[in-house]
Amino acid sequence: MINRVLIRLKIIQIVYSYYQNGSKNLDSAEKELFFSLSKAYDLYNYLLMLMIALTEYARKRIDTAKAKLKPTPEELHPNTRFIDNKFIAQLDVNAQLLEFISNQKRTWANDQDFIKELFDKIAASDLYKEYMASTDDSYAADRDFWRKIYKTFILNDESLDQVLEDQSLYWNDDKEIVDTFVMKTIKRFDEKLGADQPLLPEFKDEEDQEFARRLFRRTILNADYYRHLISENTKNWDLDRIAFMDVIIMQTALAEILSFPNIPVSVSLNEYVEIAKLYSTMKSGSFINGTLDGIVHQLKREGKLNK
């Protein structure tokens, strides 16, 4: 699940903290990197749990209405399509998710006000009303309903962002990327696989783990050389006047360009320019693109870069 986009972001964050905190303990910083990546995987599982929590809330609301002293006919015979959703029933017994819940002891139980607020938004929507009135009771229809619900109500919910921020500072910048993994997971669910439906793994393979470790270490250990290259190609700028985040982004980009021959230079440049647009100043994207492009041409002329 943890892809290289997320790995690059986390490395830049940890490298930035490494210099700001002044600890200069490389092993500790590397452990922090992998801990931070593991928290992104926790968020992935926690967002899957959110869909189950919403269903459980709806079920309890139906049970409470039935238990009234004088329930209405509608309360006695409610439409249970939402709580009987086949995709959620499969997710609820998923072996990997149950293992995560058991190991991490995570729950949405303490955020019932938010669960109520979110469910009320969903229940008031045309999407919900159309689903509840539909005669298509197929697994595919149930799964597609939740894909639409997630995209419409969970993807960009400010209240949810606040709830997650209160739970973990590591999740501040992760949700946008993790959301794409949750959406991909919903799409991949297959009724025939039942409880054994595989979730996305924390890392696709050992190669991505090694990519994270090597990129982080090279960024730190070769910092003087990378900063020398940056300084040579920003002659009109004193390095101290360049935004510190820009320096960190370029330092990490150079570590990738020079350490991973199988990654095209254009891919690396595009990735770090996009990161600069998100995490640094308004002009950082074009500044970093121009500076790195100049360094790449210099390295190729000197025979130090052959790709």
The domain that holds 291 is classified in CATH as 1.10.940.10
Compute the distance between CA of residue 253 and CA of residue 142 in angstroms, rounded to an integer.
Answer: 43
Residues 188 and 86 in one domain: yes
Q: Residue 296 falls within a domain, yes or no?
A: yes
Look at the chain and report how many structural domains it folds into: 2
Query: What rounded mean pLDDT belongs to the chain?
Result: 94
Q: Residue 205 falls within a domain, yes or no?
A: no
Q: Residue 212 falls within a domain, yes or no?
A: no
Q: Residue 213 falls within a domain, yes or no?
A: no
Residues 158 and 117 in one domain: yes
SS (H, E, C) 156-168: CCHHHHHHHHHHC
Domain that holds residue 232: 222-301
Which of 181, 196, 211 is a domain's end point?
196
Residues 166 and 233 in one domain: no
Q: Cα-flanking dihedrals φ and ψ of residue 204, to 5°?
A: -60, -40
Residues 66 and 156 in one domain: yes
Residues 190 and 228 in one domain: no
What are the pLDDT digits (tens) for 251-286?
999 999 999 999 999 999 999 999 998 888 888 999
Residues 171 and 228 in one domain: no
Residues 105 and 240 in one domain: no
Residues 123 and 248 in one domain: no
What are the pLDDT digits (tens) for 219-243?
999 999 999 999 999 877 666 678 8
Q: Residue 186 falls within a domain, yes or no?
A: yes
Residues 191 and 257 in one domain: no
The neighbouring-strand residues paired with 2 are 203
DSSP-derived 3-state class of residue 111: helix
Residues 54 and 158 in one domain: yes
**In the prediction, which pLDDT does 240 show?**
67
The residue ranges of the chain whose pLDDT is under 70 are 23, 237-240
Residues 52 and 145 in one domain: yes
The neighbouring-strand residues paired with 203 are 2
Q: Residue 204 falls within a domain, yes or no?
A: no
Residues 37 and 77 in one domain: yes
Cα distances (angstroms) measured from residue 202 to each of 33, 206, 209: 14, 10, 10
